[in-house]
Amino acid sequence: MAWEDVALKQKTRVSDAIPTEWRLKSLPSTDSVMDVPKESGILTPEELAITESFAADLVKDLAVGKLSSVAVTTAFCKRAALAHQLVNCLHDFLPDFALARAKYLDEYLATHKKPIGPLHGLPISLKDQCRIKGFETTMGYAGWIGKIDSENSVLVDLLDKAGAVFYVKTSVPQSLMVCETVNNVFGRTVNPRNKNWSCGGSSGGEGAIIGFRGGVIGGSIRVPAAFNAVYGIRPSHGRLPYAKLANSMEGQETIHSVCGPLAHSVGDLRLFMASVLEQQPWNFDSKVVPMPWRQAEEESIRVKISSGGLTVGFYSCDGNVTPHPPIQRAVQTVVDKLKGAGHTILSWEPYKHPFAVDLANRVYASDGGTDIYAALNLSGEPAIPNIKDLVNPNLKKLDLNEVWQCQLDKWNYQMEYLSAIRDFEAKTGRILDAIVAPITPTAAIRHNQFKYYGYATAINVLDFTSVVVPVTFADKNVDVGPKNFVPLTDMDAAVHEEYDPEVYHGAPAAVQIIGRRFTEERIMAIAEEVGRLLHS
């Protein structure tokens, strides 16, 4: 069977899983679909309230039986069904599986008079690289359709032990390696705030469904969080389990992939992190550091916050690409808010970020595209344009010594960055608590226009902790753009040329709060304070 026929059959199977009574009679003509849940009549007022709640509030009510898991799961299944019809964000829809699990959890609570774990009864969406026993993980590859997983990913096992309910697997780009979510099986996932904008990637389906409130917690992480006006955390490698997740270029150990949650508040990010760490993931994934949730780390930052004692660096440009006006305004807004609260805010000079970006590009192309193109060749499907731009199969592969050199270059760069931080602290006489920076050079971008990954990539190379905070929305009346712009690089010129204040009006603009490795508790507390200052 031709790959096109296999893909169409798979896409139809997922759409057919939506019950008739949850289907829209017609699709809206508006660019934004955010009002459809209220206007469609498919969700009851109670279900709307459930899906617009914070996860931390839902688990409290679920734990004492004030809400049933069946009711909460039904609500999120219905809203997820709407999300898929409107923005095409699912690779699998599992309402029967989810409701059976929810029924079991409700019965458990009634019998034992206690919840099964800290996430008891809470629906959690899973990015389609998380394996669930008995279901498929296609990652958007036509050649992976029909392969049934025989075991769960470790993260899925631990979320299950914590009491979570799994109801959807969300869309990813072919290969996971790009920041726009499109593949040959399901097509493109769009942004619920404006279907002309990207939802980000690689977890674009997660960003879209959480942004639409078809989910309350999912993963992962920064560009989808930024483009969908939600929070997200990139933990350092080894803090959360990655074992048995599907991936491209498995075995590539120079720049590690990580997973982390997306949510509508830092409190919900904390709930996810603490619930997984409570299950002692280091006993199941050998790469996880035995590091339980450290409340004392969080409290030490809260003490600094209460006295206006934070020291925060910031930068608006990484030396490669100048961010669009909405992003520069977002950074400045956070800087002003922190200054206004009495904290010390100092300019930070990004240390050799262009070097880090070049190093990452070498690493990602080091196998000459062998892994990705082997997956494509299983079905004969073509590479999406983004992959052709990122991984050119005509490039020379790195030999083993060249790979070792990349690993040494990364290690040296990480140590040089720590030295730059120490020099900064010696010069200023203050301990650097965090850095505020762009996460992308653009607000939620138009389709096929995402060109520069560097603001995220440099932090990946450093393996620093990073939390995305939604700040503002592009405003055509304010973010008019500079006159007589002089680009720093050819890439800077290409990114700048794409900017149009009219087109970007209303697009989410975010920042990332960056900390050293394994500072998740501290950086989340700072991000929570930034959110409070912005939105209180």
- The pLDDT-based confidence of 216 (bands split at 50, 70, 90) is confident
Neighbours of 397 (CB within 10 A): 13
* Pairing label, strands 344-347, 465-473: unpaired
> Does 506 count as an annotated binding residue?
no
Q: Do 208 and 168 share a domain, yes or no?
A: yes
Q: Identify the pLDDT of residue 28.
A: 96
**202 catalytically annotated:** yes
Which tops the pLDDT comparison, 482 or 29?
Answer: 29
Backbone angles phi, psi at 179, to 5 degrees: -100, 20
Q: Do 220 and 365 share a domain, yes or no?
A: no
Q: Identify the pLDDT of residue 176.
A: 87
Angle at 437 between CA 436 and CA 442, to 5 degrees: 145
Q: Identify the pLDDT of residue 178.
A: 86
Quick one: average pLDDT of 529-536? 93
For 321-352, write each residue's pLDDT tens digit: 999 999 999 999 999 999 999 999 999 999 99
Q: Do 355 and 267 share a domain, yes or no?
A: no
Q: Do 271 and 373 share a domain, yes or no?
A: no
Q: Identify the pLDDT of residue 389.
A: 65
- The pLDDT-based confidence of 220 (bands split at 50, 70, 90) is low
Residue 251 lies in a domain: no
Cα–chain-centroid distance for residue 456? 11
Look up the domain containing 223 and give its range: 3-17+35-246+257-283
Cα of first residue to Cα of last residue in the chain, in angstroms, is 56
Residue 230 lies in a domain: yes
Quick one: average pLDDT of 446-458? 94
Q: E strands along 439-496, which residues? A: 465-473
Q: Which of 292, 355, 330 is nearest to 439 (CA)?
A: 330
Q: Do 75 and 157 share a domain, yes or no?
A: yes
Q: Do 271 and 304 share a domain, yes or no?
A: no
How far is the C-alpha of 156 from the C-alpha of 42, rounded, in Å? 30
Quick one: average pLDDT of 305-312? 97
Q: Do 269 and 334 share a domain, yes or no?
A: no
Residue 100 lies in a domain: yes
For 181-206, write each residue's pLDDT tens digit: 999 999 999 999 999 999 998 899 99
> Does 217 count as an annotated binding residue?
yes
Among 202, 275, 379, 466, the active-site one is 202
How far is the C-alpha of 348 from the C-alpha of 67, rounded, in Å? 47
Q: Do 354 and 212 share a domain, yes or no?
A: no
Q: Identify the pLDDT of residue 393.
A: 67
How far is the C-alpha of 453 from the C-alpha of 255, rounded, in Å? 14
Q: Identify the pLDDT of residue 179.
A: 86
Q: Which of 134, 156, 77, 65 is nearest to 105 (CA)?
A: 65
Q: Do 267 and 313 share a domain, yes or no?
A: no
- The pLDDT-based confidence of 536 (bands split at 50, 70, 90) is low
Q: Do 261 and 320 share a domain, yes or no?
A: no
Mean pLDDT of the chain: 95
Among 40, 69, 127, 198, the active-site one is 127
Q: Identify the pLDDT of residue 524.
A: 98
Residue 92 lies in a domain: yes
- The pLDDT-based confidence of 217 (bands split at 50, 70, 90) is confident
> Does 202 count as an annotated binding residue?
yes
Say how many domains are in the chain. Answer: 2
> Does 8 count as an annotated binding residue?
no
299 has pLDDT over 80: yes
Q: Identify the pLDDT of residue 205.
A: 95
Q: Do 310 and 209 share a domain, yes or no?
A: no
Quick one: average pLDDT of 438-466? 95
Residue 465 lies in a domain: yes
Whichever domain contains 168, its CATH number is 3.90.1300.10
For 466-513, write each residue's pLDDT tens digit: 999 999 999 999 999 888 899 999 999 999 999 999 999 999 999 999
Which tops the pLDDT comparison, 367 or 532?
Answer: 532
For 349-398, write each residue's pLDDT tens digit: 999 999 999 999 899 889 888 899 899 999 999 989 877 667 766 777 89
Among 220, 248, 275, 379, the active-site one is 220
Quick one: average pLDDT of 22-38? 97
- Residue in this structure with the two tokens 């200052």, named with its chain if needed: 533
For 131-175, write each residue's pLDDT tens digit: 999 999 999 999 999 999 999 999 999 999 999 999 999 999 998
Q: Identify the pLDDT of residue 365.
A: 86
Q: Do 447 and 335 share a domain, yes or no?
A: yes
Residue 28 lies in a domain: no
Instruction: Provide the b/e sequence for 223-260 (b: ≥16 CB within 10 Å).
Output: bbbbbbbbbbbbbbbbbbbbebbbbbbeebebbebbbb
- Token code pair at residue 132: 């669930």
For 34-89, write each residue's pLDDT tens digit: 999 999 999 999 999 999 999 999 999 999 999 999 999 999 999 999 999 999 99
